[in-house]
Amino acid sequence: MMGLEVNLSAVTLGVSLAFFLVALRTWLAWRYLRHIPGPPLASITDLQRMSWVKTKKAHLILQDVHEKYGEVVRIGPKTISFSNPEAITTSKFYVTLQPYTPKGGSLHAIFNTPDENIHKQLKSPIANFFTPNNVLLYESHVDDVLTVLQEKLDSKYIGHDQIFELSSWMQFFAFDVMGTLTFSKRYGFLDTGKDVGNMLKNIKDFMRTAAPWTQIPQLDAILRKNRIGDWVQRHFFTAASMGILGFVGKAIEEKREVLGTKRQSRDGTAQLDNKTTTGNEKDFLTRYLEILEASPKTVPAWAPTAWTFSNVIAGSDSVGSLMCTTMFNLLVYPHTLQKLLAELQGSNASRPFPRYGELRNLPYLNACVLEGIRMHPPFCLPLERVVPKGGIRVLDHIIPEGTVIGGSPYVVNRHKGTFGDDAEFWRPERWLERGEEHKKKLEASMLTFGSGRRICLGKYLGTLEITKLIAFLVLNYDIRIVDPERFTVENSWFFFQEGLYATIRHRAEKVVKDEKESELPV
């Protein structure tokens, strides 16, 4: 009996101690940033923001939170969100969007590695491929894919009065462009009119799985980013990232075979036969493998995999999303479509495929592209950094070192103090009203492509693709949206869009009269 009482006392003591430790941790978490306003539950747990992400509407929830609490808001025990572009800062990323393999561990990439040295190792060798001048070298390949898109639209839908999902075809176009640039061959989305090899599905599944875990990186490391967690994921859940990595790995091996690549058994360094391809005809993967061959001591052996993975994911889906956003808004605000058409026809741009040199200085086209980039950025969860040693001041708030701070591109890009009281709405004219300096300020205030050292390398290439596609569609086709309420968006870190249904016919070679302005909000 005495032993039972002792055991009960020990259990009681243990439970009490555990309760005390939980209470202490909760109090310390609340106290850490108690001077920053925010939802009460967010001050003690990250589970709330994880639940926001699981709704796939976290960008709207976060926007409401900022409306209620202000421009600097506490959304986690050690996490701050800002909505004012003036607060843009840089430090390091968390690692939750990295795919994991048992052999290689987490895969670092330029857009997700927290290690500044690795970031430099990955970015420096390839940065020159994506400069404003060098992306012009890829325009002919974009035109090749536009030719395929034109053939498919004409053969499938012209003259049939058929309703079709334009959003899917723009996504197919974006992926086939990146396939051509990366592997010298299209994935086949446009040719087949469908998701080849479930690549789009795998990307969506990967993002849907990873997005909630980005809110609690420590839990992600315990439950997923280790051998046991990975085994559980593979056997009982969908390991979507492995489908993408498997595709990338197979593509690299095939490219090595084509190029005559050989592995040296002694150090594993890749060797290329440089005579197989030269000049500007080299695709990205060929260039990536050549970089590894030339600098095996400074470039990680897994770098080509990381670069190619980034091309497949960030270089395709994000561009397709921006194309879709821009075209959707042009269609639901037809007065802006008519202004753009008049500008394009007045410029005497080449048809059917206008040259980028003919387009890049057209003010209204440029404004429409920028407005699309602003309205619905392809990455809509906060781009998080860690406050460096010594802390920082953000909009009159002192933020201590070690705090995670970030801004959602969706929320920051709609800051009314910067972009106007109508920032919620599509209005390309905002980019033209107050001169070039104001336009540059607005561009610098957007978070769509990131900021500082972490700015997206593919910014200029993506802009070229979007500009050419929009000009091609507007110049050559009369497209009418059907039931815009069917257009849906999903925020799973990437901004997935579908349901842009339309009819299409060839465009007459004259400026059509203005149509009644749509009053549909975005």
DSSP state at residue 385: E
CA angle at residue 292 from 286 to 298, to 5 degrees? 150
Minimal CA–CA distance to 181: which of 245, 243, 135? 135
CA distance 379 to 322: 10
pLDDT at 76: 94
**What torsion do the CA atoms of 62, 65, 67, 69 make, to the nearest 10 degrees?**
-140
Asked whether the beta carbons of 285 and 249 are under 8 A apart, the reply is: no
Helix (H) or strand (E) holding 284: helix 284-294
Residue 25 three-state SS = helix
Asked whether the beta carbons of 109 and 98 are under 8 A apart, the reply is: yes
What is the number of other CB atoms lying within 10 angstroms of the CB of residue 220? 21
Residue 405: strand pairing partners:
80, 385
CA distance 470 to 323: 7
Q: In which residue ranges of the chain is pLDDT below 70?
A: 1-32, 89-116, 217-243, 261-280, 510-522
Task: Report DSSP letters for 82-132, one per residue.
Answer: E-SGGG-------STTS-EETTTEE---TTT---HHHHHHHHTTTGGGGST
CA angle at residue 405 from 438 to 422, to 5 degrees? 35
Tokens of 10: 């020990």
Number of alpha carbons in the 13 Å side-chain half-sphere of residue 319:
32
CA distance 168 to 373: 19
Could you tell me the CA-to-CA distances from 57 to 49, 87, 320, 458 in Å, in that order?
Answer: 11, 23, 20, 26
pLDDT at 15: 56
| Beta-sheet pairing, 164-165 with 501-506 | antiparallel
Annotated ligand binding at 324? The verdict is no
Domains of the chain: 116-506 (1.10.630.10)
Tokens of 53: 């992400």
300 preceded by a cis bond (ω within 30 of 0): no
Q: What is the end-to-end Cα distance of the chain in Å, rounded? A: 72
Identify the sign of the CA torsion 39, 45, 49, 55: negative
Minimal CA–CA distance to 88: which of 476, 365, 454, 447? 447
DSSP state at residue 457: T
| Beta-sheet pairing, 477-481 with 392-394 | unpaired
CA distance 315 to 110: 12
Asked whether the beta carbons of 384 and 94 are under 8 A apart, the reply is: yes
pLDDT at 25: 52
Minimal CA–CA distance to 214: which of 52, 105, 73, 63? 52
pLDDT at 409: 95
CA distance 233 to 226: 10
Minimal CA–CA distance to 494: which of 307, 374, 248, 316? 316
Asked whether the beta carbons of 169 and 189 are under 8 A apart, the reply is: no
pLDDT at 483: 96
pLDDT at 269: 43
Asked whether the beta carbons of 383 and 407 are under 8 A apart, the reply is: yes
Asked whether the beta carbons of 173 and 512 are under 8 A apart, the reply is: no
CA distance 469 to 370: 14
CA distance 509 to 490: 37
Q: What are phi and psi of 386, to 5 degrees?
A: -110, 130
pLDDT at 49: 93
pLDDT at 263: 45
Residue type present at position 191: D
Tokens of 320: 């397709």
Residue type present at position 511: V
Task: Report DSSP letters for 460-495, one per residue.
Answer: HHHHHHHHHHHHHHHHHEEEEE--GGG-EEEEESEE
Tokens 């036969």 locate to 273
Asked whether the beta carbons of 158 and 505 are under 8 A apart, the reply is: yes
pLDDT at 197: 87
Asked whether the beta carbons of 182 and 311 are under 8 A apart, the reply is: yes
